[in-house]
Amino acid sequence: MTTKTDFYETLGVARNATPEDLKKAYRKLAFQFHPDRNRDPEASDRFIEINEAYQVLSDPDRRASYDRFGHAGANGANGRGFEGFEGFGGFGDIFESFFGGGSRSQGPARGRDLEYRTEISFMEAVFGAEKEFDINRVEPCERCSGSRAEPGTSASRCATCNGSGQVRRVQRSVFGQFAQVTACSTCRGEGTTVSTPCTKCKGAGRERRRRKISVNVPAGVDTGSRIRLRSEGEPGDPGAPAGDLYIHIEVEPHELFERDADDVLITLDLNVARAALGADVEVPTVEGPRELKIPAGTQSGQAFRMRDLGVPHLGSSGRRGDQIVIVNVAIPRKLDDRQRELLEELALTMGDDVSTGDRAEGWIGKMKDFISGDGD
């Protein structure tokens, strides 16, 4: 005589498990050991044990009797034995929960999506561009136009599935009869068969080909942006749409500009005299050179904003970032005699107080006469 396993152990739950804990454990185990999914010879017996355990423990009265009297109490205390699946809403409910219904079939499969990566320049990302590149994808056979049959012949209705592309199989188990609908293995779900296959694709109806694709890259894209081309992926089953083509963008770095969201950053080197005296300087921008007024006394690291000279905001019309100019005051490494003389004179007029500008007025006049252009 075989001893029954404790119902709590069968479901793998504690003795104080809540109804929700029981239901969760039951769903998991029923899915794992269902005979239609698990071909292990012992799965059917295990499945019966799981259901019996759940039927007892999910009923408050039977659970209380089982806790007091064990298996005898579960089947005799209230005059009820193992009655099936009523406490769970019927076996059909859980079957649909796990498998989407016993008789529902899958339609034609959509085509596979394709993904490619392409590099564009910094300026192409700012202003947009039209890019052309090669892709390698599966397409309908050029010779038979995807019919699979040699030109001059035609496909015929599949005798196995009578043209439906599906076959219905009925399976019996200890819990009743279940229908399963699968794709027809004879016609591979297409509903037709060919007696004279296409000589180019060997009856597959598809072939792999290289093709040039033109893509309009919108202004404002950045590394990580993704462009979706609908229906440019691989073809689907007959009657199903093609997949999509996704282009992943990578932007090459620029020698002068950096990007911060929609703003463009650039570092401007100024010699110490221009930073101190102020100057009108020509600054590179994505639109070409522009003049920027640098005020006297500009410090290294100080930033100036040039409005609407950044990157267009992706997906909007008119919105655009700015160009941020960050000043780097360059200290000269080499001085000629006259430059050294002027800087020494400046040091004497200013002393240790760098804010004493009045005493440096004479020196500034001399510097204006002497300095033109950036120093080394």
Q: Note the pLDDT tens digit of each residue in 316-346.
A: 777 899 999 999 998 888 888 888 888 888 7
113 close to 228: Cβ distance less than 8 angstroms? no
Q: Which of 70-79, 152-161, 185-194, 356-365 has the lowest mean pLDDT?
A: 356-365
266 close to 323: Cβ distance less than 8 angstroms? yes
Fold equal for 7-99 and 254-331: no
CATH class of 254-331: mainly beta
321 CB burial (10 A radius; 0-12, 13-18, 19+): buried
Domain range list for the chain: 7-99, 254-331, 334-376
Per residue in 82-103, pLDDT (tens digit) is 344 433 444 444 444 444 444 4
> What is the pLDDT at residue 104?
44
Which structure tokens are listed for 313? 């905001």
Beta bridge partners of residue 125, listed in sequence order: none
- CATH superfamily, domain at 7-99: DnaJ domain (1.10.287.110)
d(CA 259, CA 94): 54
Give CA separation, 48 vs 11, 45, 70, 72, 106, in Å: 12, 5, 18, 18, 29
| 72: pLDDT strictly greater than 90 | no
> What is the pLDDT at residue 75?
60
Highest mean pLDDT among 113-117, 130-134, 232-236, 260-264: 260-264
Parallel, antiparallel or unpaired: strands 323-330 and 263-271: parallel
| 299: pLDDT strictly greater than 90 | yes
Residue 59 pLDDT grade (very low, low, confident, very high; cuts 50, 70, 90): confident
Q: Which of 101-115, 198-212, 337-351 has the lowest mean pLDDT?
A: 101-115
Q: Looking at residue 345, what DSSP letter applies?
A: H
- In this prediction the pTM is 0.55
d(CA 325, CA 295): 13
